[in-house]
């Protein structure tokens, strides 16, 4: 009996080119680095569509689809959802959206995610927006915000930092070696941070976009 990964790989092999041209920017940074705030600013000022891999997975679970049930069961069993499943959701969101500019927030989470995304979609990011923030500052922000999140306690926060450091930093190092990382000092006030972000996105209007390879239905 084939696995979820096998099925996703078979679909990936049936990828065909479409005429849709897209610009993709990966947004990375530790928990509490301000990614969400700055993504909202980019959406408002530059017309990007903000895609979060985690939000797409949660939406698929809520939809009650067979795929959503599979994702929910894997999470309940403590299994990691295969990269191909998450990528398929991202790809579908891109295909079904009328926009051609996307921020992909919090993805790729590790090197396997990165390699699978490029293989399946044929997309390399225009650049990687990396919010560089000290662990002490991220910890302070997470503990001070009042959002009722159960994971905003010191023990869980430090575990999240550890996972982030071990899994996401190799992705940043990979793209840095290709000259694609744009590092932002995220310890500064949000207004100053957006000033630096704004300077990066303003020239993109004249940058050629890339063609999206998508999974056929």
Per residue in 99-115, pLDDT (tens digit) is 999 999 988 989 999 99
d(CA 40, CA 200): 15
Rounded to 5, what percent of the chain is helix, strand, coil? 55, 20, 30
14 in any annotated domain: no
Name 24's Cβ contacts closer than 8 Å, sequence gap at least 6.
94, 102, 104, 123, 125, 126, 210
Annotated binding site for CMP: 113
16 in any annotated domain: no
Annotated binding site for ATP: 32-37, 145, 188
112 in any annotated domain: yes
**Tens-digit pLDDT profile for residues 41-85:** 999 999 999 999 888 999 999 998 888 999 988 878 777 788 889
Annotated binding site: 32-37, 58, 79-81, 106-109, 113, 145, 149, 160, 188
d(CA 198, CA 161): 27
94 in any annotated domain: yes
**Domain enclosing residue 131, as ranges:** 30-200
In the chain, the number of structural domains is 1
Annotated binding site for a ribonucleoside 5'-phosphate: 58, 79-81, 106-109, 149, 160
CATH classification at residue 76: 3.40.50.300
* pTM for the whole structure: 0.77
């Amino acid at each position: 009996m084939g696995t979820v990964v096998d099925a996703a790989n078979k679909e990936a092999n049936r990828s065909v080119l479409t005429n849709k041209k897209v610009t993709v920017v990966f947004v990375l940074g530790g928990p509490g680095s301000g990614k969400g705030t700055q993504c909202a600013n980019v959406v408002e000022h530059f017309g990007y569509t903000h895609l979060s891999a985690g939000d797409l997975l949660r939406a698929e679970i809520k939809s009650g689809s067979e795929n959503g049930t599979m994702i929910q069961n894997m999470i309940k069993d403590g299994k990691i959802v295969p990269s191909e499943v998450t990528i398929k959701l991202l790809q579908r969101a891109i295909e079904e959206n009328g926009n051609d500019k996307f921020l992909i927030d919090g993805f790729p989470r590790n090197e396997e995610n990165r390699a699978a995304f490029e293989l399946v979609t044929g997309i390399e990011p225009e650049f990687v927006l990396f919010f560089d923030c000290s662990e002490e500052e991220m910890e302070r922000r997470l503990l001070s915000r009042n959002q009722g999140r159960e994971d905003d306690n010191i023990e869980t926060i430090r575990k999240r930092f550890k996972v982030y450091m071990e899994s996401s930093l190799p992705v940043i190092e990979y793209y840095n070696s290709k000259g694609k990382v744009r590092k932002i000092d995220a310890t500064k006030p949000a207004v100053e941070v957006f000033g630096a972000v704004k300077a990066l996105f303003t020239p993109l209007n004249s940058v050629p976009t890339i063609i999206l390879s998508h999974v056929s239905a």
